[in-house]
Chain A
């Protein structure tokens, strides 16, 4: 874009717009101050909309041979169709189970992003596999208690305690 001076003063224009009013093209070039006076301009480096769209289309066109609605999370049993109804996921593993359709959704709601950028827990020793193993065992524990198999429950509780490095709250059960 060619360099413009502000329409109202000598400062360089940082706000440019073209409007069509009654079939006539009206260009506006304003400095920060005068743009502010006219209305609002926020300048922040957000991803341009066409980049968002490209990402969106790219992900959407990937093969969807089996429809996403049939996807099921092995860990909590939630189906993608159920997720779409309630817009709540059932467990951390749902993020992997539904990764493909979810990435499309995430890109749409998070300015095109599908990856975390920010704080990472310092205790990163707790890997994802580890987290899943714990969840599986806690599920078995819950089933054992429901079935009143207290021997198995006690065993599982010990194992969970060893893995998680914390005493499992036996008194709560």
Chain B
């Protein structure tokens, strides 16, 4: 498979479309599953891991679980290609970095909205990613995939504990529901801590997409459930659809409106300074790009800056990350060279916009 073709466009989930995509960047549902009758990956003999991999790959590809499903053997991949998949959210960092002796892979399909990691922490980690607020659609799709897989593979399941997973924090439904939200106004007004406290009360995790804690770079926050045992899939999903996401959207919108009313110059200053730097800088770090894009993105969604599309911003967001940048340039670059290439790429892309 030619991973190089991936670099020049953003995957389906970064299209910048979908309901509420001004605030909800993407929706994700993930299921953890293990094949019955085998030890978990961390304790299986290598022969067994290989067997799990081969059986899973065969059933995934024969099952026609999603359009244009392709298989990537991660053992045979260059580290740069694995990093590329990480940047595209198709595999985890852990899956990319595991040792070469661990047979593992990933199946990717339907414009990168579906991915199935094999031999990560669990035998199978199925993921559906959609742009905007599409958790319901993502869940339906992953449930169909799970049903099809279930006809072909027997999963480790117990009446008492549900789907059995290597880590007890995933046992039960094995489901992880998450949304990536862009919350620059709540961050600016300092109200993001209230969101975090409220989320914690609901046993949800709030993480910065990049960086740690409240220092989330680019104002992107990932909110996900932590409870997987004792609550049904629909219950978990409903929390997000009817309570968590609508409320956070409402608070972010309130904070944005308050900024327009009370401190429009502060708001515009941030947006236009970011625009100026993106268009003129000659050296640029990744974290800097993320922060600047966040500001411009806010400007675009609020109608205060109109010379760039959300699509272009999303593409830049991805292409300025290390593996994407080097793939685009067609050569290995050291960090200093990357900073220069990054700044040049951004000026070029924005110039066309």
Using a CB–CB distance below 8 Å, which chain A residues touch chain B?
36-37, 39-44, 46, 75-76, 78, 86-92, 95-96, 102, 105-106, 109-124, 126, 128, 130-135, 138, 142, 145, 164, 169, 172-173
Contact = CB atoms under 8 A, between A and B. Distances in A.
B223 to A, nearest CB: 12
B173 A90 contact: no
A172 B43 CA distance: 19
Given A116-B163, A172-B54, 6 more contacts: A36-B247, A86-B42, A90-B42, A126-B36, A128-B159, A138-B37
Contact of B43 (A76, A124, A133, A145): A76
A105 B168 contact: yes
Contacts of B42: 86, 88, 90
B274 to A, nearest CB: 28
Given A116-B173, A173-B47, A123 B154 contact: yes
Contact of A128 (B51, B146, B158): B158
A124 B156 CA distance: 10
Contacts of A91: 38-40, 43
A92 B233 contact: no
Instruction: Tell me whether chain A's interface is mostly helix, strand or loop, or mixed.
Output: loop
Given A44-B202, A90-B42, A118 B162 contact: yes
Interface residues of B, number: 64
Interface stretch (B81-89, B127-135, B193-201, B294-302): B193-201
A138 B38 contact: yes
A137 B95 CA distance: 29
B48 interface: yes
Interface in B148-164: 150-151, 154-164
Interface of B: 34, 36-40, 42-43, 45, 47-48, 50-51, 54-55, 121, 143, 146-147, 150-151, 154-164, 166-169, 171-173, 175, 191, 194-195, 197-199, 201-203, 226-233, 239, 243-244, 247, 250-251, 254
Contacts of A130: 36
Nearest to B234: A118
A164 B152 CA distance: 11
B156 A118 contact: no
B262 to A, nearest CB: 14
A135 B233 CA distance: 29
A79 to B, nearest CB: 12
Given A39-B194, A88-B121, A102-B168, A115 B230 contact: yes
A90 B172 contact: no
Contacts of A89: 40, 166-168
Nearest to B155: A121
B164 A110 contact: no
